Amino acid sequence: AVYRPAEDSGLLADAAVDAACGRVLEVGTGSGWVAERVAAERGLRVVGSDLNPHAAREAAGRGVEAVVADLLGPFREDAFDTVCFNPPYLPTKPDNEWDDWMEHALSGGESGRALIEPFLADVDRVLAPGGRGLLLVSSLAGYDEVVALIEDAGFVHEAVVEESFPFETLTVLRFDRASA
Protein backbone atom coordinates (compact mmCIF):
# COMPACT_ATOMS: atom_id res chain seq x y z
CA ALA A 1 0.00 0.00 0.00
CA VAL A 2 1.46 3.32 -1.16
CA TYR A 3 -0.13 6.74 -0.60
CA ARG A 4 -1.70 8.00 -3.84
CA PRO A 5 -1.48 11.65 -4.88
CA ALA A 6 -4.47 13.59 -3.53
CA GLU A 7 -5.41 17.25 -3.00
CA ASP A 8 -2.66 17.66 -0.41
CA SER A 9 -0.07 16.27 -2.86
CA GLY A 10 -1.17 18.76 -5.51
CA LEU A 11 -0.86 21.71 -3.14
CA LEU A 12 2.62 20.66 -2.02
CA ALA A 13 3.70 20.06 -5.62
CA ASP A 14 2.49 23.51 -6.71
CA ALA A 15 4.32 25.18 -3.81
CA ALA A 16 7.49 23.15 -4.40
CA VAL A 17 7.57 23.80 -8.14
CA ASP A 18 7.30 27.49 -7.25
CA ALA A 19 9.77 27.65 -4.36
CA ALA A 20 12.26 24.79 -4.62
CA CYS A 21 15.91 25.55 -5.29
CA GLY A 22 19.19 23.67 -5.31
CA ARG A 23 19.25 20.16 -3.90
CA VAL A 24 15.75 19.02 -2.93
CA LEU A 25 14.55 16.36 -0.50
CA GLU A 26 10.94 15.22 -0.33
CA VAL A 27 10.36 13.42 2.97
CA GLY A 28 7.53 10.89 2.84
CA THR A 29 7.61 10.82 -0.96
CA GLY A 30 4.99 8.06 -1.27
CA SER A 31 4.55 7.31 -4.96
CA GLY A 32 7.16 9.94 -5.85
CA TRP A 33 4.60 12.04 -7.73
CA VAL A 34 5.56 15.38 -6.10
CA ALA A 35 9.31 14.72 -6.40
CA GLU A 36 8.88 13.74 -10.07
CA ARG A 37 6.98 16.98 -10.81
CA VAL A 38 9.59 19.18 -9.14
CA ALA A 39 12.43 17.42 -10.97
CA ALA A 40 10.65 17.61 -14.34
CA GLU A 41 9.31 21.17 -14.10
CA ARG A 42 12.31 22.78 -12.39
CA GLY A 43 15.18 20.60 -13.62
CA LEU A 44 16.39 20.09 -10.06
CA ARG A 45 17.91 17.02 -8.44
CA VAL A 46 15.26 15.65 -6.09
CA VAL A 47 15.76 12.84 -3.59
CA GLY A 48 12.65 11.14 -2.22
CA SER A 49 12.65 9.33 1.11
CA ASP A 50 9.98 7.14 2.64
CA LEU A 51 9.78 4.71 5.54
CA ASN A 52 7.75 2.37 3.31
CA PRO A 53 10.04 0.29 1.04
CA HIS A 54 7.14 -0.21 -1.39
CA ALA A 55 6.84 3.57 -1.75
CA ALA A 56 10.58 4.00 -2.30
CA ARG A 57 10.44 1.31 -5.01
CA GLU A 58 7.46 2.97 -6.71
CA ALA A 59 9.13 6.41 -6.59
CA ALA A 60 12.29 4.91 -8.09
CA GLY A 61 10.13 3.51 -10.88
CA ARG A 62 9.16 7.12 -11.69
CA GLY A 63 12.83 8.00 -12.00
CA VAL A 64 13.08 9.57 -8.54
CA GLU A 65 16.28 8.89 -6.59
CA ALA A 66 14.58 7.20 -3.64
CA VAL A 67 15.80 5.91 -0.30
CA VAL A 68 14.12 4.09 2.58
CA ALA A 69 14.51 6.40 5.55
CA ASP A 70 12.81 7.42 8.78
CA LEU A 71 12.29 11.16 8.37
CA LEU A 72 15.72 12.89 8.15
CA GLY A 73 17.80 10.27 9.97
CA PRO A 74 20.32 9.18 7.31
CA PHE A 75 20.97 12.56 5.71
CA ARG A 76 24.09 14.57 6.43
CA GLU A 77 24.29 18.13 7.71
CA ASP A 78 23.67 20.93 5.19
CA ALA A 79 22.74 18.34 2.52
CA PHE A 80 19.69 20.07 1.02
CA ASP A 81 18.60 23.55 -0.05
CA THR A 82 14.90 22.65 0.00
CA VAL A 83 13.10 20.07 2.14
CA CYS A 84 9.42 19.30 1.44
CA PHE A 85 7.11 17.21 3.60
CA ASN A 86 3.45 16.23 3.37
CA PRO A 87 3.33 14.44 6.73
CA PRO A 88 0.79 11.90 7.97
CA TYR A 89 -1.56 14.18 9.88
CA LEU A 90 -4.83 12.43 10.65
CA PRO A 91 -5.34 12.48 14.43
CA THR A 92 -5.69 8.81 15.41
CA LYS A 93 -6.51 7.38 18.82
CA PRO A 94 -4.15 4.55 19.86
CA ASP A 95 -6.97 1.98 19.90
CA ASN A 96 -7.83 2.94 16.30
CA GLU A 97 -4.33 2.31 14.93
CA TRP A 98 -4.39 -0.34 12.22
CA ASP A 99 -0.65 -1.06 11.78
CA ASP A 100 0.03 -1.27 8.07
CA TRP A 101 1.79 0.94 5.50
CA MET A 102 -1.35 2.99 4.83
CA GLU A 103 -1.58 3.83 8.53
CA HIS A 104 2.04 5.02 8.43
CA ALA A 105 1.07 7.23 5.46
CA LEU A 106 -2.00 8.72 7.14
CA SER A 107 -1.89 8.58 10.94
CA GLY A 108 -0.35 11.51 12.79
CA GLY A 109 -0.87 9.98 16.23
CA GLU A 110 -3.34 11.43 18.72
CA SER A 111 -2.40 15.06 17.99
CA GLY A 112 -1.89 14.66 14.24
CA ARG A 113 1.64 16.01 14.86
CA ALA A 114 3.49 12.79 15.77
CA LEU A 115 5.82 13.12 12.76
CA ILE A 116 5.70 16.90 12.38
CA GLU A 117 7.36 17.41 15.79
CA PRO A 118 10.50 15.27 15.17
CA PHE A 119 10.72 16.55 11.58
CA LEU A 120 10.81 20.19 12.70
CA ALA A 121 13.22 19.35 15.52
CA ASP A 122 15.77 17.95 13.02
CA VAL A 123 15.18 19.72 9.69
CA ASP A 124 17.57 22.59 10.40
CA ARG A 125 20.44 20.07 10.58
CA VAL A 126 19.99 18.92 6.96
CA LEU A 127 19.20 22.36 5.52
CA ALA A 128 22.14 24.18 3.95
CA PRO A 129 22.62 27.84 4.95
CA GLY A 130 19.87 29.83 3.27
CA GLY A 131 17.81 26.67 2.82
CA ARG A 132 14.05 26.53 3.09
CA GLY A 133 11.36 24.06 4.02
CA LEU A 134 7.86 23.46 2.75
CA LEU A 135 5.44 21.74 5.10
CA LEU A 136 1.86 20.80 4.34
CA VAL A 137 -0.35 21.50 7.37
CA SER A 138 -3.91 20.31 7.87
CA SER A 139 -6.23 22.15 10.22
CA LEU A 140 -6.96 18.66 11.63
CA ALA A 141 -3.44 18.61 13.10
CA GLY A 142 -3.78 22.08 14.65
CA TYR A 143 -2.54 24.91 12.42
CA ASP A 144 -1.60 27.22 15.32
CA GLU A 145 0.23 24.41 17.13
CA VAL A 146 2.29 23.62 14.01
CA VAL A 147 3.11 27.32 13.53
CA ALA A 148 4.30 27.45 17.15
CA LEU A 149 6.55 24.42 16.53
CA ILE A 150 8.02 26.12 13.45
CA GLU A 151 8.70 29.29 15.46
CA ASP A 152 10.15 27.30 18.38
CA ALA A 153 12.56 25.66 15.89
CA GLY A 154 13.85 29.15 15.01
CA PHE A 155 12.18 29.64 11.63
CA VAL A 156 10.16 32.44 10.08
CA HIS A 157 7.25 31.24 7.99
CA GLU A 158 4.61 32.25 5.50
CA ALA A 159 1.61 30.50 4.02
CA VAL A 160 2.31 30.08 0.30
CA VAL A 161 -0.82 28.18 -0.75
CA GLU A 162 -4.04 27.32 1.05
CA GLU A 163 -7.24 25.54 0.14
CA SER A 164 -10.37 24.83 2.18
CA PHE A 165 -12.35 21.61 1.99
CA PRO A 166 -15.54 20.63 3.83
CA PHE A 167 -13.69 18.99 6.74
CA GLU A 168 -10.28 20.68 6.77
CA THR A 169 -8.13 23.51 5.48
CA LEU A 170 -4.81 22.56 3.90
CA THR A 171 -1.95 25.06 3.95
CA VAL A 172 1.60 24.81 2.67
CA LEU A 173 3.91 26.78 4.94
CA ARG A 174 7.30 27.85 3.68
CA PHE A 175 9.80 28.25 6.49
CA ASP A 176 13.24 29.82 6.50
CA ARG A 177 15.89 30.30 9.16
CA ALA A 178 15.26 33.54 11.02
CA SER A 179 17.94 36.17 10.42
CA ALA A 180 20.33 36.60 13.32
pLDDT in tens, 24-83: 999 999 999 999 999 999 999 999 999 888 899 999 999 999 999 999 999 999 999 999
User: Is 0.85 topped by the overall pTM?
Assistant: yes
Counting Cα atoms < 13 Å in the Cβ hemisphere of 42 gives: 22
pLDDT of residue 6: 82
What local confidence, expressed as pLDDT, does residue 40 receive?
Answer: 97
**How much is the pLDDT for 109?**
72
Contacts of 115 (CB under 8 A, 6+ apart): 28, 71, 87, 88, 108, 109
